[in-house]
Structure 1
């Protein structure tokens, strides 16, 4: 059990620094869906933010122009989000992600789910991290399986976790680095 707690503020600061650390290098294509608020295909970094508990999607990808949002969140609702498009804004504390979005370097995928969910927090977390409904003998995570296919075997620092959890990063060939932050790293 880790004694360190990663606050949301430190998480966002670390996430911004982590964009330079390159999560996965591969040939990504936009999904072509209206659920992707995105940059056009250009470069080779995928940053996956998995928020386990506490902060839901509507706390960072804020619906705009929906009175029902503020009716349901009278004290938590965000009234002045950073504009992404006519439908959504970004939590104003996420200015670095907003800047990356404006540069065409960040995409947001909304309404992620799976059919016939069990409503079990643990089951859902496993499904999202492994992208498999049935637990079997393949313990690799969805990002790990992706990396096994697209990441060159000699590439270093391809899979990186700031939470200490690597279930979604488990790979047959590509090692994952886990850390609680960038404080101990020197970049030159």
Structure 2
């Protein structure tokens, strides 16, 4: 039985290359291909794919937010991020949103095909550089774990939204607070968790 695959990427040449790759495989079936996340959010629940190849840098609704919105409905669908972003911010935001795999664009065809099969079978395929960053982030000892009890309810809400890939403006809109207030909360979170960046805060939050 073929695995049902959908593609979400606003770059037409990339969609064509991925579509051809899937069509050439006798183990995969291309169900649909989307150039924007608005269409994906609306139609993917009808497609019921086994695997979705998701880009991140997409206008309007980015790929991470698209996964976050779809995952509750498509609980059995596996989202495999396929992107140029190799930084910890995007990696952890995507995983927190519900992605179970993370590959960099430029991944060789045999590896990409193997990763699609792997993720459908319960694996979490990642490019070597991505896996290394994940391991490094979780290589802290237990006594280095922060005390999240020190965070106020509002600081926890801000940190939770940060981990889901929200931008500062989106956090402000979501919590109905000013942008400068979000910045204040974020700095307090950094101080209490003893971190210096968003990626470090998210890594500790996911490890809690």
TM-score bracket, normalised by the shorter chain, equals under 0.3
Q: Which has the higher contact order (CA 8 A, sep 6+)?
A: 1
* TM-score, normalization by structure 1: 0.26
TM-score in terms of structure 2 length = 0.24
